[in-house]
Structure 1
Amino acid sequence: MSSNAYYLIFSVILIAAVLFTVIIGNSRTNKDGNPEYDNKTKGNWSRLTFFYVVAIALGVLALILYVVNRTST
């Protein structure tokens, strides 16, 4: 599979993830189901930041492994 196909797949997944995150975050069901969520912002931001740091670190690691394996062949 060419690199362009991987870029396309990655881009579609990334855009879908952002769209679904925004849709779910702004949904009435989400706001009605947990009204305390907006009052506990410090814990929410801490967990969210942790998840993003882990995801970015794994993404960078995957990119490094991809580049190293691609250049070694």
Structure 2
Amino acid sequence: MAGSVYYIIFSIILIAGVLFTVLIGNSRANKVGNPDYDNKTKGNWSRLTLFYVVAIALGVLALILYVVNQT
């Protein structure tokens, strides 16, 4: 499989993860089950951003190592 296919698959998974995270964060069930979620947005966004930065960096590193080792 060509290397560009892995980048496309990785991008789709990344975009889906961001989309579903936002949808869950704004869902009615989350607001009813955790009413303080909207009141503590700075802390929530900070932790979520840090999580995504680390996850994306590790994911890109793993993808690069995988693609490089395939050649």
TM-score by length of 1: 0.65
What are the equivalent positions in structure 2 for 1:10-29 lying under 5 Å apart? 10-29=10-29
Larger Rg: 1
**Aligned partners of 1:12 and 1:67: how far apart in 2?**
17
> Where in structure 2 are there 5+ consecutive unaligned residues?
none
Question: Number of paired residues?
Answer: 71
Question: CA 1:29–1:18 in 2, change beyond 3 Å: closer, same or farther?
Answer: same
Alpha-carbon shift at residue 34 of structure 1 (Å): 0.5
Q: Tell me, yes or no, if structure 1 residue 58 matches structure 2 residue 58.
A: yes
| Displacement of 1:5 | 2.2
Q: Whose relative contact order is higher, 1 or 2, with alpha carbons under 8 Å and at least 6 apart?
A: 2
Taking only the aligned residue pairs, the percentage that are identical comes to 82
What runs of 5+ residues in structure 1 fail to find an aligned partner? none
TM-score by structure 2 length? 0.67
RMSD: 2.4
